[in-house]
Structure 1
Amino acid sequence: MQRFHVSATGHSLNYLPEYVARWQGFFAEEGLNVSASVPSPWDLVLDDIGAGRAEAALGGIWVPSMYLGRGPRYTPFAQVSARAPLALVGRRGAPAFSWEALPGKVILMKGSNGASVGLFIKMLLREHGVDPVRVGFVQDLDGKMLAQLFAGGMGDYLVVDSPSALTLEAAGGGVVATVLAASGGDVPWSVYYAPGESDAARLAVQRRFVRALGRGMDWVLAHEAAEFRGFLVETFPRFDPDHLVRLVELYRAHGMWTTPRIDVAGYARWQRGIADGHLTAAPLPYEVLIDGRATEVSAAL
């Protein structure tokens, strides 16, 4: 077996196809011993791939985007999730959620694990004709702290991962206003990237990884969540099993998992959001940042 270690920015439900591919033996059938770790702080994923402790980092494509031409070259070669796994939690008794009604409101969203959350919410506001300047944000604090403060009365909305949103709602701490996997549209939310350019040997390994990952996606899409409830409980013991099953079904229905190939249209949309967030001077053309060779084999199967 050949080692393939993933240094990930989290342990998340939207990474499910990778976990399933390991569980079902798809990686092993490709001759890969795939493992994963979640370093703290999250940006140690860059040290891990730079030092060869990991074959890939898993996280937001905004990182390779903002580094291009400014530092080390990080090359995305596949995606695992094509939608944002976030939800907005509002106050009980609030009017039905509308982006157009958010001017003057205050949104709490964590800033301790990267820029994706803020970039995405502000992009959605602009897409709905709302200038983010007209909305108040608290986003320089840890997610757990913000959840406590929201429960204590701070802000009008809280942006959190969807499992946490359902947990908060069940505890009476708010109402899920919108689940962005359903309402937020396509973006390459979580991608695998490696340092530099891949030579033939590394590309061959990435292709094997991608083939197995694609089989993991296909397996999840072919099986209702209730069929593998036990695996979900084992993999995500912090969350209510009913919430996990509900979210997997929602993710399956709304295109969270499609193909390992990074979608061109979703990429272009997300690049505009990244550029509008001033992480890049302008949206980066697909072929400038992405190495699509590893997913060509997957797409052909």
Structure 2
Amino acid sequence: MGDYRSRPSSSEGEKPQVLQPFHLTATGYNLNYLPEYIALRHGFFREQGLDVRVKIPTPWDGVLDALAEGTADMALGGIWVPSMYRNRSQHYTVFAQIANRCPLALLRRGQGDGLKLVDMVGSTVLMKSGGGASVGLFFKMLLRENGVDPKSLDYIQDLDGVMLGNLFQGGMGDYFITDNLSALAMAEHNPDVSIAMEMVSQGDIPWSVYYRETAPLTPAIFDAQKRFYVALAKGIDWVLQHDAESFRDELAELFPTVPIDVVVRVTNLFRRNGMWTSTSVSREGFDRWQQGLADARLVKEPFAYEAIVNDEVAAAAQSAK
């Protein structure tokens, strides 16, 4: 999926609305960003006077270049990046979230009911890493939370996700962690593998957030961000209020390479399990993820909420809905 922008919403003959450009850079194109795509397609940003344009750089860490160059007003990605950079290189401030849960799934060979993580000790787990470190960070945190030493498993995680998926189906490793869409599509296509865990059920975590370089918020920047988050919150509400089956044609346009029944099923799974809640970052989820990052040595110790997150804009947007 390449770069994209909000759709025009004025009717024929109507005087065009003068819109303020708002440039967003994102680390990928994912189902867990769905409310943003809905807000773009349904004109929610344009209702707020914003012409939102999105660029997805390759490689993904080009989002940091866009922020440094001033070609992007905001970046969308994992909160582990602003945490990792804090006090080491550049300072970034998180202003809001879109995904409140982990969008991954764990595949295993064969079929079976239930999974005890302790039973994975001694196994080999394949994990894609092309989009950053989040996959390994979350899974190893989950192991520690369940009393399993991550070092008691072996990992293959330095290869492309598609390559690892093909190798897993060909016999490499015991488990494979990938995004929920790809996992379900693989399980439906291949009877020799099944989904052992859908991680959206594993508690709150600020998985995908909006951030920019730390700097004083001018009234103009605050106002633009507030309008962005008002529209984003409307996108979240819209998704939560509509069963995915009712907008399957739109989902098919958004994710044309995935079987539509899979997209509908995963979208409803995310709707039911708290993937999308609000634009505000949960303190409990933040603290949990910070502990996970500290245990993984990405940060020396967990940061306080206020050191990374400025929730004032998101809170103002929530109150303005």
TM-score by length of 1: 0.97
Which secondary structure state, in structure 2, belongs to the residue aligned with residue 188 of structure 1? coil
255, 276, 285: which is aligned to 2:274? 255
- Structure 1's unaligned 5+ residue stretches are none
- Answer yes or no: is 1:30 the counterpart of 2:54: no
Q: CA deviation at 1:95?
A: 6.6
2:100 aligned residue = 82
Q: CA deviation at 1:49?
A: 1.4
Q: CA deviation at 1:93?
A: 4.0
299, 306, 316: which is aligned to 1:280? 299
1:215 aligned residue = 234
166, 189, 193: which is aligned to 1:174? 193
**The 10-residue stretch of structure 1 (94-103 or 170-179) with the greater mean CA deviation from structure 2:** 94-103
Which secondary structure state, in structure 1, belongs to the residue aligned with residue 185 of structure 2? helix
1:236 aligned residue = 255
79, 84, 87: which is aligned to 1:69? 87
Aligned pair count?
300
1:271 aligned residue = 290
Equivalences for residues 94-133 of structure 1 within 5 A: 96-133=114-151
Q: State the AA in 2 paired with 1:90.
A: R
Q: CA deviation at 1:140?
A: 1.2
2:9 aligned residue = none
Equivalences for residues 282-297 of structure 1 within 5 A: 282-297=301-316
Q: CA deviation at 1:111?
A: 2.0
1:224 aligned residue = 243
Q: State the AA in 2 paired with 1:119.
A: L
Distance in 2 (alpha carbons) for counterparts of 1:231 and 1:36: 19
Q: State the AA in 2 paired with 1:238.
A: T
Residue by residue, what CA displacement relative to the aligned partner does 1:181-206 show, whole Å, maximum 9, x if unpaired? 12x21100000101122322211111
Equivalences for residues 197-216 of structure 1 within 5 A: 197=215, 198-216=217-235
Distance in 2 (alpha carbons) for counterparts of 1:68 and 1:135: 30
Q: State the Cα RMSD in Å.
A: 1.1
Q: State the AA in 1 paired with 2:290.
A: Q
Q: CA deviation at 1:5?
A: 1.7
Of the two, which has the highest radius of gyration?
A: 2
- Structure 2's unaligned 5+ residue stretches are 1-18
Residue by residue, what CA displacement relative to the aligned partner does 1:212-264 show, whole Å, maximum 9, x if unpaired? 00000001011111111111000110111111111111111000000000111
2:166 aligned residue = 148
TM-score by length of 2: 0.91
Q: CA deviation at 1:94?
A: 5.6
**The 10-residue stretch of structure 1 (273-282 or 196-205) with the greater mean CA deviation from structure 2:** 196-205
Distance in 2 (alpha carbons) for counterparts of 1:94 and 1:243: 20
Which secondary structure state, in structure 1, belongs to the residue aligned with residue 264 of structure 2? helix
Runs of 4+ in 1 over 4 A off after TM superposition: none
Which secondary structure state, in structure 2, belongs to the residue aligned with residue 279 of structure 1? coil
Distance in 1 (alpha carbons) for counterparts of 2:30 and 2:95: 20
